A and B are shown apart, each in its own frame.
Chain A
Amino acid sequence: MRLAPTQAAVLEAASATEDRTIERLAEELGEKPETVTGAVFALEEEGLLDVSEEEIEGVSLTEEGETYVEMGLPERRLYETALELDADEEPVSMGEVIGRSGLEGSEVDIALSNYARKGYGEIDSGELSATAGREEDEEADALALIAAEEPVTDESVLDDLTRRDLVARRESTVRSVTVTEEGVTALMEGIEESETVGQITPELLTTGEWEAVEFAEYNVEADAAEVVGGKKHVLRQTADRVKDVLVGMGFEEMDGPHVDSEFWINDALFMPQDHPARTHWDQFALEKPEEMDNLPEDLLDRVRSAHLEGVGEDGEGYHSPWTEEVARGMDLRGHTTSLSMRYLSGEAVGDLEPPQRYFSVEKVYRNDTLDPTHLLEFFQIEGWVMAEDLSVRDLKGTFTEFYERFGITDLQFKPHYNPYTEPSFELFGHHPETGELIEIGNSGMFRPEVLEPLGVECDVMAWGLALERLAMLITGAEDIRDLHGTLADIEFLRNAEVIY
């Protein structure tokens, strides 16, 4: 019979008359127990060995137990100190004994509570007496035996030590083997060792030798060494997902400047120039470049007029000052609606005829305080639909469709106010995991004061949402700063779950 070398050795080391444990075989053969276990099971399969299992209870020291083996049990240390102070003759102050014993923190309580239990003496009104001649401590002896891997027979001591969390009990399975009759026969007929091979080599393959060899068995369950590969950033993956959905819904992607004039960022959006959100408390105004001097003149006039006079027969403007100087000021865009304005005006890609759908997933900047849910820079998902005769129902239909792709199936529309849309809605949905109702977007139909100056004669509905918000929802991340920025934890990025 041909057997792999380990199997052959195990079979020869085993006995037909006596149970031998795998540990013992491993020791005899100088192999690892897991290697021998592998061979034993293979031999059992061949019918050459019988395997019996026995559940054995073992004990081991906890960390605290190990400490006491080294230092002595706290109550024992207290007792010994008490004897040094002759507390067997006359009670001494507890403070003195403790101070001298070197016991600290929780050890003091442990020592005191076990001191009396073990009859080392008495503690009364702050004084401590000691009973002379207590040389032995069963628990200490048992700990020492366990440390030396010797058996402890007294179950009650073991119970006490377990209660004190000084030892831990564990169950283990011990396997023993005996050679079967078939095995004996095989041994008598003689075992031939087959050659085993660790690695396939070109030579093995080309010579055809591979047919005659056995492959050494691996422990296929063991962990392999860590592999760290590269991965697309989790927020980029989320953005990809959003882009996929939007492209699938017929949206085309926009592109445009991060640094832009107030005109494109705020004035075209019909944000009054004295609106609180336009102060440098909320947006990043730039020192350099200072201003944009090539704004389209006609558009500038129409936007100014919308602000001051309103649009349409019954329209009114704002009662706020409006100057070209403010409109020319430069900002880091606080929203990507500046891109929508550039596209709708025809400045970006020429005049657009309805119907159109456009989107972007791009960075915006807000002068905020960094905290777990706020960043100075984040990605805004922006989208709009331009068509003749769009209604609030179309808006609800479009966004319901979008959010359903992300598992939010109960989208709620709360009437809201934005200077640039009417009607406007905040979008709410339940977190797919926590069930919490959270705001997940802001939407509306662009006002005539926005569209008319841009020369758009049909309806446009739009919405915006922070990508990070969606990502936190999808990934369960709790601190946005782990995701985004130079404080990023590489380990977090390496381990982040992929998004698809």
Chain B
Amino acid sequence: MPVVDIDPDELRQLTGTERDDDRLKDDLFGLGLEYEGETEDGDLQFEFAPDRLDRLSVEGVARSLRYHYGEDRGTYVPPTNDADWTIEVEDSVPDERPYVTGAVVRGIDLDEKGLDSLIQLQEKLHATMGRKRAKGAIGIHDLTMLKGESVSEEGGPSIRYTGVDPDGPRFVPLDSDAELTPAEVLEEHPTGREYADLVSEYERYPAIYDELGLFSFPPVINGRRTEVSTDSRELFVELTGTDQWTIDKMCAIVCYALSARGATIEEVEVEYPDRTLLRPDFEIREKRVSHERIEGMLGMEFDPETVIDCFERAGLSATQVLGEETAYDVEVPPYRVDVLHPVDLIDDVGRAYGFDGLIPKYPEVSTVGARHERTRLEDAARNVLVGLGFEDTLNFHLINEAENYERLRVTPGEGVLGAGDPATIREPYSEDYTMVRTWALPSLVMVLENNTHRSYPQNLAEVGFAAELDDSTETGVRERRTVAGVLARTDASYEDAKGVLQALARNFEVDLETPPTEHPTFIDGRAASVVIDGQPAGVVGEIHPEVLVEHDLELPVAAFEFRLDTLE
């Protein structure tokens, strides 16, 4: 979940409140921001769910608090000045990253804290909506360092979003003194190496030019020439990405934050070859919410004034629509990226009203409860085994090939129990867990291996899950429940395991036969097929000394495993 670092004094100043830290923490908890601790610099850290990305910086958190305190009400859109600058989009822009947007910001006065906050917002937006810059990346530049090219007859300055040869233009990236090509940045610059994967497959790399040359290599790094400092008074914000809506919303969130610090937002024209957009996109979306639905979802009656008050305290303007049924037209500001459906606005009403105020009630509908037959059967088998003295174990379903096959002397595909083809994990992290177990006996033998220091006898059982590939099923995997047991003690023998099977067979009133078989995990001549009601169901026998020694066991182990469903 995202975490935002907040200087409490800045928060008080931007919110216009005198409330102390503890009070602020309580109020923010009510808004869904949970206090996590302090940074080394004394900033307060809050964690929140990734829906309200407008709260990724102190400015947005302050805005939410102002609404919460009733200092502000209703939907707000910052004023914008008419466009002077243009972003020209060239045909050479890489197909993989075709979209760009931006804004000009004037009259900003950032101190160190303000600049940190802006950088934090940028990085957190990258991490969330920007999908680690893959979907959207923000570049912020000192406007006074840009020299616009003049493209239009009216003579407004412009910059160009274009595609360049990776080994072509040279520029000095941030945190560097060397002139590097984009390809060199990806190899030599730490930030370049970090984000190289995003563009390395592109034929042409994205780049933004002014008259003086390349000043931004999105989504990787900006040029040093236009670096923003506390002395910067005018900014150029540009965003590139794989989705216009996403970068427009990220842009809007950045503009709202800067506007809250007193900056003036100025529009920018984005000229694609086939269309022109005016950005930032501060368009207000309108959604209609029915009064009945609000009452139904929150489970209580409201008068329309209360509903409208709640909307306004949530930062939304609402007008009541009179008709056959009461409804509201709600204006959703551009930074509210989480609102997809009227139900999201009902949630806002609930939060503003206070969900704590909704008294719990048990739903007045009656249904009949029941266990699933499969789990009842599992439990019955487990209970019988426990009655026979087995310790019931619960093992991981994930295992690796060595444990599942080799250490039990089984060769995959050889047609014995356990030799089935496994469902395998793609790019596993851990070499211990690379596949789903095809049988449960290896898990039990591992438990014995890990407990050689504990007292014997150790009689362990598991009624559990195993799976193997099978094209004839819906998912391509045959999942089954399996009954497995091991008896480890100084005089354990085949007969002990067979005795348990006989007891199980008796309890479940099934017919048990144990014709001799060969299975590599067991000693030849001391292994049998478990045949239940005429169907082959598993195997029983004395475990092969090689398997015992492999698992550091110094005493005989008798074991069995068979399909649970044969007991039905």
Residues of chain B within 8 A (CB-CB) of A240 are 379
Q: 7 A-B pairs, CB-CB below 8 angstroms?
A: A253-B370, A289-B423, A294-B474, A312-B341, A319-B246, A417-B32, A488-B393
Q: Are A376 and B288 in contact (CB under 8 A)?
A: no
Q: Does A257 contact B (CB under 8 A)?
A: yes
Residues of chain B within 8 A (CB-CB) of A319 are 243, 245-246
Q: Are B341 and A311 in contact (CB under 8 A)?
A: yes
On whether A230 and B390 interact (CB within 8 A), knowing A393-B300, A486-B443, the answer reads yes
Residues of chain A within 8 A (CB-CB) of B367 are 250-252, 355-357
- Which of B338, B383, B391, B423 contacts A286 (CB under 8 A)? B423
Q: Give Cα A250 to B363, complex, Å.
A: 11
- Smallest Cβ-Cβ distance to A362: which chain B residue: B375
**Interface window among B161-169, B181-189, B449-457:** B449-457
Residues of chain B within 8 A (CB-CB) of A387 are 363, 365
Residues of chain A within 8 A (CB-CB) of B383 are 232
Residues of chain A within 8 A (CB-CB) of B351 are 415, 423
- Smallest Cβ-Cβ distance to A228: which chain B residue: B455
How many chain B residues touch the partner (CB < 8 A)? 97
Within 8 A of B (CB), among A153-202: none
Q: Are B366 and A393 in contact (CB under 8 A)?
A: no
On whether A255 and B476 interact (CB within 8 A), knowing A287-B424, A332-B436, the answer reads no
Q: Give Cα A490 to B393, complex, Å.
A: 9
Q: Are B366 and A416 in contact (CB under 8 A)?
A: no
Question: Which among A287, A290, A357, A490 has the highest number of chain B CB atoms within 10 Å?
Answer: A490
Within 8 A of B (CB), among A370-392: 375-377, 385, 387, 389-392
Q: Does A298 contact B (CB under 8 A)?
A: no
Q: Does B479 contact A (CB under 8 A)?
A: yes
Residues of chain A within 8 A (CB-CB) of B245 are 319
Q: Are A423 and B447 in contact (CB under 8 A)?
A: no
Q: Give Cα A194 to B296, complex, Å.
A: 86
Residues of chain B within 8 A (CB-CB) of A229 are 386, 389
- Which of A392, A424, A449 contacts B340 (CB under 8 A)? A449
- Smallest Cβ-Cβ distance to A259: which chain B residue: B477
Q: Are B363 and A257 in contact (CB under 8 A)?
A: no
Q: Give Cα A344 to B436, complex, Å.
A: 27
- Which of B398, B427, B477 contacts A257 (CB under 8 A)? B477
Q: Give Cα A294 to B391, complex, Å.
A: 41
Q: Give Cα A247 to B385, complex, Å.
A: 25
Chain B positions 496 through 523: 1 when the CB is less than 8 Å from some CB of chain A, otherwise 0: 0000000000000000000000000000
Within 8 A of B (CB), among A306-323: 310-320
Within 8 A of A (CB), among B365-405: 365-372, 374-375, 379, 382-383, 385-398
- Smallest Cβ-Cβ distance to A361: which chain B residue: B375
Residues of chain B within 8 A (CB-CB) of A330 are 423, 475-476
Q: Does B51 contact A (CB under 8 A)?
A: yes
Residues of chain B within 8 A (CB-CB) of A332 are 398, 423, 425, 436
How many chain A residues touch the partner (CB < 8 A)? 97
Q: Are B341 and A413 in contact (CB under 8 A)?
A: no
Q: Does A464 contact B (CB under 8 A)?
A: no
Within 8 A of B (CB), among A473-500: 483-491, 493-494
Residues of chain B within 8 A (CB-CB) of A377 are 396-398
Residues of chain B within 8 A (CB-CB) of A365 are 397-398
Q: Give Cα A312 to B366, complex, Å.
A: 30
Q: Are B368 and A280 in contact (CB under 8 A)?
A: no
Q: Does A258 contact B (CB under 8 A)?
A: yes
Q: Give Cα A357 to B390, complex, Å.
A: 35
Chain B positions 353 through 368: 1 when the CB is less than 8 Å from some CB of chain A, otherwise 0: 0011011111101111
B29 smallest CB distance to A (angstroms): 8
On whether A363 and B465 interact (CB within 8 A), knowing A255-B374, A355-B366, A490-B451, the answer reads yes
Q: Are A231 and B392 in contact (CB under 8 A)?
A: yes
Q: What's the A-B contact tally at a CB cutoff of 8 Å?
A: 270
- Smallest Cβ-Cβ distance to A391: which chain B residue: B299
On whether A246 and B433 interact (CB within 8 A), knowing A286-B424, A314-B342, A391-B297, the answer reads no
Q: Does A235 contact B (CB under 8 A)?
A: yes
Q: Which residues from chain B sit less than 8 Å from chain A, CB to CB?
A: 29, 32, 34, 49-52, 131, 135, 243, 245-246, 285-288, 296-300, 338, 340-344, 346-347, 350-351, 355-356, 358-363, 365-372, 374-375, 379, 382-383, 385-398, 421-427, 429-430, 433, 436, 443, 446-447, 450-451, 454-455, 457-461, 465, 467, 469, 474-477, 479
Q: Give Cα A246 to B342, complex, Å.
A: 32
Q: Does A396 contact B (CB under 8 A)?
A: yes
Q: Are A274 and B135 in contact (CB under 8 A)?
A: yes
Q: Are A398 and B363 in contact (CB under 8 A)?
A: yes
Q: Which 6 A-B pairs give the minimum distances between C-beta atoms? A: A391-B299, A289-B476, A393-B299, A417-B49, A396-B360, A355-B365
Q: Are A414 and B358 in contact (CB under 8 A)?
A: no
Q: Are B426 and A259 in contact (CB under 8 A)?
A: no
- Smallest Cβ-Cβ distance to A446: which chain B residue: B343
Residues of chain B within 8 A (CB-CB) of A254 are 372
Q: Are A230 and B388 in contact (CB under 8 A)?
A: yes
Q: Are A251 and B365 in contact (CB under 8 A)?
A: no
Q: Does A405 contact B (CB under 8 A)?
A: no
Q: Are A486 and B397 in contact (CB under 8 A)?
A: no
Q: Give Cα A75 to B429, complex, Å.
A: 60
On whether A390 and B455 interact (CB within 8 A), knowing A236-B392, A246-B369, A250-B369, the answer reads no
Residues of chain A within 8 A (CB-CB) of B425 are 284-287, 332
Q: Does A292 contact B (CB under 8 A)?
A: yes
- Which of A247, A363, A413, A490 contacts B391 (CB under 8 A)? A490
A157 smallest CB distance to B (angstroms): 45
Residues of chain B within 8 A (CB-CB) of A416 are 32, 49
Residues of chain B within 8 A (CB-CB) of A487 are 450
Residues of chain B within 8 A (CB-CB) of A414 are 29, 32, 34
- Which of A228, A288, A392, A489 contacts B298 (CB under 8 A)? A392
B305 smallest CB distance to A (angstroms): 21
- Smallest Cβ-Cβ distance to B246: which chain A residue: A319
Q: Give Cα A280 to B362, complex, Å.
A: 39
Q: Give Cα A66 to B382, complex, Å.
A: 53
Q: Are B358 and A376 in contact (CB under 8 A)?
A: no
- Smallest Cβ-Cβ distance to A445: which chain B residue: B297
Within 8 A of B (CB), among A268-311: 274, 276, 280, 284-290, 292, 294, 310-311
Q: Are A357 and B369 in contact (CB under 8 A)?
A: yes
- Which of B350, B361, B430, B475 contacts A260 (CB under 8 A)? B475
Residues of chain B within 8 A (CB-CB) of A246 are 369
Q: Give Cα A413 to B367, complex, Å.
A: 25
Q: Are A249 and B363 in contact (CB under 8 A)?
A: no
Residues of chain B within 8 A (CB-CB) of A483 are 394
- Smallest Cβ-Cβ distance to B131: which chain A residue: A274
Q: Does A32 contact B (CB under 8 A)?
A: no
On whether A250 and B391 interact (CB within 8 A), knowing A317-B340, A396-B360, A416-B32, the answer reads no
Q: Does A93 contact B (CB under 8 A)?
A: no
Q: Are B458 and A251 in contact (CB under 8 A)?
A: no
Q: Are A258 and B386 in contact (CB under 8 A)?
A: no
Q: Are B391 and A415 in contact (CB under 8 A)?
A: no
Question: Which among B356, B363, B370, B426 has the highest number of chain A CB atoms within 10 Å?
Answer: B363
- Which of B362, B389, B422 contacts A230 (CB under 8 A)? B389
Residues of chain B within 8 A (CB-CB) of A449 are 340-341
On whether A236 and B372 interact (CB within 8 A), knowing A391-B299, A488-B450, the answer reads no
B288 smallest CB distance to A (angstroms): 6
Q: Give Cα A156 to B359, complex, Å.
A: 74
Residues of chain A within 8 A (CB-CB) of B298 are 391-393
Chain A positions 130 through 158: 1 when the CB is less than 8 Å from some CB of chain B, otherwise 0: 00000000000000000000000000000
- Smallest Cβ-Cβ distance to A226: which chain B residue: B455
Q: Give Cα A272 to B356, complex, Å.
A: 30
B181 smallest CB distance to A (angstroms): 30
Q: Give Cα A276 to B49, complex, Å.
A: 13
On whether A230 and B387 interact (CB within 8 A), knowing A288-B469, A294-B474, A365-B398, the answer reads yes
Residues of chain B within 8 A (CB-CB) of A355 are 363, 365-367
On whether A392 and B426 interact (CB within 8 A), knowing A448-B341, A486-B443, the answer reads no
Residues of chain A within 8 A (CB-CB) of B426 are 280, 285-287
